[in-house]
Structure 1
Amino acid sequence: MSTAPAGDGPEAGATARPDVVVGLVAAPGVPAEVADELGPDLAAALRGEHPEVAWDVRVVEDGLVAPPADDAEIVAAARERLLAEEWDLAVCVTDLPLTVARRTVVGHASPVHGVAVLSLPALGAVGRRRRALQTSLGLVRALLGDDGGDPGVLRRRLRELAADQGDAGGGFTARVLTGNLRLLVGMVRANRPWRLTASLSRALAAAVAAGVFALVTSDIWRLADRFGPVRLVAVGLGSVVAICATLVVGARLWERAGSPRVRKQVALFNLATVATVVLGVLTLYAALFTLALTGALLLVPSGLFAEGLGHRAGLGDYLELAWLTSSLATVGGALDAGLEEDEAVREAAYTHRPGAGG
């Protein structure tokens, strides 16, 4: 099994074009045989589509995971290999079947990780080499954020991906954010952050339980009445930060760059991760606020509420109660978010979208 580059050849070093390194990782056996044929074809096709950068496709044989394994495990293992080898992108060739909503698919692409998975069983036996090439090209396009929009944006993305980054710090992260905002938005949208909390059963159950307890406690009524907008905002922000930090730190979603070569994509990964988690938690907060307000209006009689507050209860008082209740419920979710298994959190945080088939 060759590990030499299948890219632009010796003459590429004489040009000033930066190179994009693609790791083509194949499981032993038939996938490795297919990858040996696919490597040169993929490099040539990528050069034809995007000649502004030099393409270096490196074919390696690595089982990555022991079967049975799903696409999330393959992507996680490939991400580790990508960072260790300092690749820009990785495409895994596997003989394991992949499914989405119980449908067999030919490939998955996770732009957040920079990793795609190609499943050989879904290609069929006829024209497999051609279909493997077409599917691999579609997966690479998905990883690059190529949605058929402005080609200038894609060219800039390629040049940035190929360029080594030698600095760090807040200024570097800011440049990554401003220079890749469109790509970042696409990565976060592909993750479907609104589905994050629904996938974390323990955190969701704890949040609902804490909200119910707060809603029927008269002391909470009086606190909500006396807190005022500033304290309510502070408690709300604190609850959101608490559960976000618990998910990111507890499940080890934050990556560290081991070398300048991968620093940019690690920064993009971390920005997309934080944005996904924050949007998911804000979705939870909004849902809890709606449930708390509905529950307060239905379950807390105005007379009893006014007696507990010591004055007439109006809609503003119910809104304040729902606000504090949703904040406390979010804190309850944060406490149980730490009990979620790391794999469950990662699976919830990252949605691998199907790649284009051939």
Structure 2
Amino acid sequence: MGSCPVVAPDPTPTAAAPEGPRDPLAETARPDVVVGLVAAPGAALEVADELAADLAGALRERHPDVAWDVRVVEDGLVQPPADDAEIVAAARGRLLVEEWDLAVCVTDLPLSVDRRTVVAHASPVHGVAVLSLPALGAVGRRRRALQTSVGLVAALLGDDGGDDPEALRRRVRELAADTDGQDGVGFTARVLSGNLRLLVGMVRANRPWRLTISLSRALTAAVAAGVFALITPDVWLLADRFGLARHLTVGLGSVVAICATLVVGAELWERARSRRVRKQVALFNLATVATVVIGVLTLYAALFLLALAGSLLLVPPGLFADGLGHRASLGDYLELAWLTSSLATVGGALGAGLESDEAVRDAAYTHRAGQDG
């Protein structure tokens, strides 16, 4: 999966000095966002302890609509060697246990993307970012840690630097707001309707259209199944006789099959461990399903276009007409491409079942990478 830079703010953020006595009632009236700083023992923990107060102040200065609560915990999370995906997964588990809204992991392990050293990674869908202490250097480490951490939180919130400030403020308030109500479908519907902008930002940051490109086995199986279907006369007859209802059923079934294989097979679905994190888990699951569905639909559309081009190039009209028993029209080619893309997607589902869980997770969740250290 590709990566894009997390842009740190130009001015060095500093904790805002209070202009007067705070009103406790006003503080408690605002919704709060809890940010967990998970630090490995040793130097990383020292940096996190120094960073906590400054980060809370900088976030309050940038987003005063909510109350920011930055908490530091000591946890190595993983045993080295470990890559960023393992660190993100472990930090996500700690986030759910502690019932935080966001988490920033300060690690003493180096991070890299395509063999290129980076300062940090952010996974907006997980609500987790990872900051690599070695990449900060020895000079100005506290200042760089603060700048990078503020940029990481912005990335987790879906702030790419060109967004509408008011839309970003709404996303922050949506993240902070608690969603009460019934369990099950009704609760999920309320989370979806009340946090639609936040959800859209999470899915967009995840770049779902790049999902299947990274799954080589699924893509290979889909193309192979499509080629086989395209040159099989029996498939020509089925495409001609199916009718709209059957084409829709087969197409929908193929999309559901590959989506279920990816989500269930790679264990991408989370379960809420407590009532406090139900909203966050619901958002994560909705973003995951949306990412997979959009990615699979992108694959389906690409397969349809390839099947249509292949049928026009490889299936001569005379031979096609002989196989159908009547004159072949453009509509017949469209029907053949439709059925071929559906069968190819089923083949992709079989290929997706052969992918490792790690490969599916890496493909499903984009990590936004920071600048070289």
TM-score, with length taken from structure 1: 0.91
What is the aligned length?
A: 350
Structure 1 residue 147: Cα displacement: 4.0
**Is 1:124 paired with 2:172?**
no
Asked whether the 8 Å contact 1:207–1:332 carries over to 2, the reply is: yes
State which drifts further: 244-253 or 139-148.
Answer: 139-148
Aligned mate of 1:235, from 228, 233, 250: 250
Partner of 1:63: 76
CA distance in structure 2 between the partners assigned to 1:271 and 1:152 by the alignment: 24
Helix, strand or coil at the partner of 1:24: strand
Partner of 1:100: 113
Partner of 1:261: 276
Helix, strand or coil at the partner of 1:56: strand
Helix, strand or coil at the partner of 1:15: helix
* Alpha-carbon distance change, 287 to 158 in structure 1, aligned in 2, over 3 angstroms: closer
Partner of 2:176: 162
Aligned mate of 2:212, from 189, 197, 202: 197
CA distance in structure 1 between the partners assigned to 2:344 and 2:289 by the alignment: 21
**Is 1:293 paired with 2:281?**
no
Asked whether the 8 Å contact 1:92–1:117 carries over to 2, the reply is: yes
* Alpha-carbon distance change, 204 to 172 in structure 1, aligned in 2, over 3 angstroms: same
After superposition, residues 180-329 of structure 1 pair within 5 angstroms as 180-329=195-344
CA distance in structure 2 between the partners assigned to 1:25 and 1:111 by the alignment: 17
State which drifts further: 337-346 or 256-265.
Answer: 256-265
* Alpha-carbon distance change, 263 to 12 in structure 1, aligned in 2, over 3 angstroms: farther
Asked whether the 8 Å contact 1:142–1:355 carries over to 2, the reply is: no
**Is 1:139 paired with 2:135?**
no
Q: Any idea what the Cα deviations from partners look like across 1:152-201, whole Å, max 9, x if unmatched?
A: 43333333333333323333322322332222222212211121111111
Q: How high is the sequence identity, in percent, across the aligned residues? A: 83
* Alpha-carbon distance change, 229 to 15 in structure 1, aligned in 2, over 3 angstroms: closer
CA distance in structure 2 between the partners assigned to 1:91 and 1:53 by the alignment: 18
Structure 1 residue 11: Cα displacement: 9.0
Q: Following superposition, which runs of at least 4 residues in structure 1 exceed 4 angstroms of deviation?
A: 10-14, 355-358
CA distance in structure 2 between the partners assigned to 1:324 and 1:311 by the alignment: 19
Asked whether the 8 Å contact 1:202–1:336 carries over to 2, the reply is: yes
What amino acid sits opposite 2:92 in the alignment? Answer: R
Helix, strand or coil at the partner of 1:256: coil
Aligned mate of 1:73, from 65, 70, 86: 86
State which drifts further: 285-294 or 87-96.
Answer: 285-294
CA distance in structure 1 between the partners assigned to 2:51 and 2:28 by the alignment: 25
Structure 1 residue 12: Cα displacement: 6.1
TM-score, with length taken from structure 2: 0.88
Structure 1 stretches of 5 or more lacking a match? Answer: 1-7
Helix, strand or coil at the partner of 1:202: helix
What amino acid sits opposite 2:333 in the alignment? Answer: Y
